[in-house]
Amino acid sequence: MSLLSLNRIRLFDRIEFQHSLMQSNFQHFYDAIRALGAFANRFENSDNAMRSKLPQPILSELSPAELVEYRTLLSTAIQYSQFYASQLRNLTVSYNLVLHGTKDVETLIEATDASQRAR
């Protein structure tokens, strides 16, 4: 005998799926930020005055090829930060719906889709 209904199991499975997407996007974001830091640390003249922040290369001293590399790393970090933020919003909507009594996965999917369209 099952303790949860099929709808509740599907609901929690959907939340776990969203959670795994969010974790994956966070890992990609974290890796992209580390790559940016590693790039900046290759240059001794990087502006590293504030250790709590991401090191920044001095752009005027970069070669054209290094600027292209930096732009690529930066755009990757921005893209993954947006993916992570989007998944985090979806997960927040899902958690709130379950806490307020949603009992089926279709309501959850519709709400997260509506949240995405609102952005």
| Beta-carbon contacts of residue 47 (< 8 Å; ≥ 6 apart) | 55, 56, 57, 58
Taking the C-alpha atoms of residue 80 and residue 69, their distance in angstroms, rounded to an integer, is 17
Provide the 8-state DSSP code for 61.
G
Provide the 8-state DSSP code for 3.
S
- Asked if residue 67 lies in contact with residue 98, where contact means CB atoms within 8 angstroms, the answer is no
pLDDT range class, residue 1, cuts 50, 70, 90: low
Give the pLDDT confidence of 59-100 residue by residue, as tens digits: 888 999 999 999 999 999 999 999 999 999 889 988 888 888
Nearest residue to 46 (alpha-carbon basis) of 59, 63, 30: 59
pTM, to two decimals: 0.76
What are φ and ψ of residue 116, in 5° steps? -65, -40
